Structure 1
Amino acid sequence: MTRTRTTPPSAAGTTAGAVRTAALPVAALLLALCVPAPAAARPADPALPLPARMADTGGGGQLITARARTPRDTTGTVAWWERRNGRWRRAGWAPARFGAGGLTEGRTRVQGTSTTPTGLYDLPFAFGLAPAPPGTTVPYRRVGADSWWCEDNASASYNRWVAPLPADCAAAESERLADYPTQYDQALVTGFNYHRPVHGRGAGIFLHVQGKGATAGCVSVPAGAMARILSWVRPSRHPHLAIGTAHGPTALTRY
């Protein structure tokens, strides 16, 4: 608390004090008129590359974006970007497919809804039945007959690659990777619900090769594009995958 010392004013002092008090609001008003108001927040320039308009890109020099027009759409575009000398440039793009249930906010997604989770994710490793494309530097695991992705909510191995299938992970609740030779010819694991899995939120969300239609929640691209992405990704550049829509609460620019 601040204390103010009070001195009994003279008559002249009282008059002068009154004048100063009366003049104070006028001076404050003039000062306010002279000081410009803070600039209102402006939307990002639509001419800027998509990563430059995003709230976060993961802090690295590589970014993959997967964007649908609306949350109801099951198709869209995947693009991959590089940052050089502080500027983002697109290195490639491809048509994409999303979950049969469309897209939904990743933090509240529910397993079994066939929705693709929106958000920003790292890329822990890659896998495939086929050999890694030439130039691949991301860790790459070959799929074998006993390679599974555990999606059993009751298992301690929930949302993990396992080989062989552990006793506490039901086969009916999981994916035997070799059973999907087209989709898992080559794939990248996303960090969705991976590092601290929340049971019931979802498991096995990948960027993989396209099959015949929409996915069960993954993002898929043509085989040629998948091979180019795997050859392009560099772990040293801390790549991330951002999934979202063009507008609204799940807009890609919000992540």
Structure 2
Amino acid sequence: MVLAAALLAAIAVTGAGPAPPLPARMADTGGGSQLITAEAPDLRSTTGRVTWWDLRGGRWVAAGSADARFGARGLVEGTRREQGTSTTPTGLFDLPYAFGVAAPPAGTSYRYRRVTQASWWCEDTASRSYNRWVEGLPGDCRAGESERLADYPTQYARALVTGYNYERPVRGRGAGIFLHVNGKGATAGCVSVPADAMRRILAWADPRRSPHLAVGTRTGGTAITRY
């Protein structure tokens, strides 16, 4: 009885108990009622966890979760990222639209763009189309500095475009940062999940609920709770 009383007293003093869900501990969730979190143990990590959340009755509830992969050289603060470093940028990003080589899964409500043989993501820093989808490669966008989306039928079977460096692109900070299906290993800077998880995320995500993607680490200056 003495031990039980001591434990209760400790809980009362420290406030110990179930930790609030991750989104409830974040500085910002984007203002919507859906959120995807991609959390890595630390900046050197190439793996972690993606969870997608619903805000229900004022409380965040996990709708699903899956193992995640990050850049081959880990993660870096998004405002300091450099293109070509194979690092995943941390931060809070909107999700403008979805795309894929495959058809959208049943229930998809996001605008979904199908990849064609002429679909490219321009990553040439000298191009007017930098960090944009183009149908047919513009003359000022070099193929060697860009991605032909159809060349990645596994990774880009289904994907979500993230708002990283998208609205007002800073040249050289990075282009083509997506949430997509796993390839053979770590990514070139994106976040990836198994194919079934990507299918579930697209069937779940509702643009009317303003979902965002938060990417970060468990602790430190790039802790996901800071975004």
Class of the TM-score when normalised by the shorter of the 2 chains = over 0.9
Q: 1:46 to 1:249 in 2, by over 3 A?
A: farther
1:83 aligns with 2:58: no
Q: Which residue of 2 aligns with 1:171?
A: 143
Within 5 A, what are the aligned runs for 1:206-221? 206-221=178-193
Does the 8 Å contact 1:57/1:63 carry over to 2? yes
| Residues 61-86 of structure 1, C-alpha deviations (whole Å, 9 max, x = no match) | 00000000000000000000000111
Q: Which residue of 2 aligns with 1:63?
A: 35
Larger radius of gyration: 1
1:145 aligns with 2:145: no
Within 5 A, what are the aligned runs for 1:1-255? 47-255=19-227
The count of corresponding residues between Structure 1 and Structure 2 is: 214
The structural deviation recorded for 1:45 is 7.9
| Residues 26-77 of structure 1, C-alpha deviations (whole Å, 9 max, x = no match) | xxxxxxxxxxxxxxxx999871000000000000000000000000000000
The structural deviation recorded for 1:220 is 0.3
Amino acid at match of 1:243: V
Q: Matched residues in 1 for 2:57 and 2:127: separation? A: 46
Does the 8 Å contact 1:120/1:241 carry over to 2? yes
Q: Matched residues in 1 for 2:102 and 2:17: separation? A: 42
Q: 1:93 to 1:215 in 2, by over 3 A?
A: same
Q: 1:80 to 1:44 in 2, by over 3 A?
A: farther
Q: Matched residues in 1 for 2:145 and 2:26: separation? A: 36
Q: CA RMSD in A?
A: 1.5
Does the 8 Å contact 1:45/1:53 carry over to 2? no
Structure 1: give runs of 5+ residues left out of the alignment: 1-41
Amino acid at match of 1:75: T
Structure 2 counterpart SS, 1:52: helix
The structural deviation recorded for 1:108 is 1.1
Q: Matched residues in 1 for 2:125 and 2:158: separation? A: 26
Q: Matched residues in 1 for 2:113 and 2:178: separation? A: 14
Structure 2: give runs of 5+ residues left out of the alignment: 1-13
Q: 1:43 to 1:102 in 2, by over 3 A?
A: farther
Structure 1 counterpart SS, 2:90: strand
Q: Matched residues in 1 for 2:210 and 2:58: separation? A: 15
Q: Matched residues in 1 for 2:164 and 2:109: separation? A: 21
Amino acid at match of 1:50: L
Amino acid at match of 2:111: P
Amino acid at match of 2:71: G
The structural deviation recorded for 1:129 is 0.5
Q: 1:148 to 1:212 in 2, by over 3 A?
A: same
The structural deviation recorded for 1:210 is 0.1
Q: Give the alignment's TM-score, normalised by structure 1.
A: 0.82
Which structure ranks higher in relative contact order (CA pairs < 8 Å, sequence separation ≥ 6)? Answer: 2
Amino acid at match of 2:156: Y
Q: Matched residues in 1 for 2:130 and 2:17: separation? A: 42
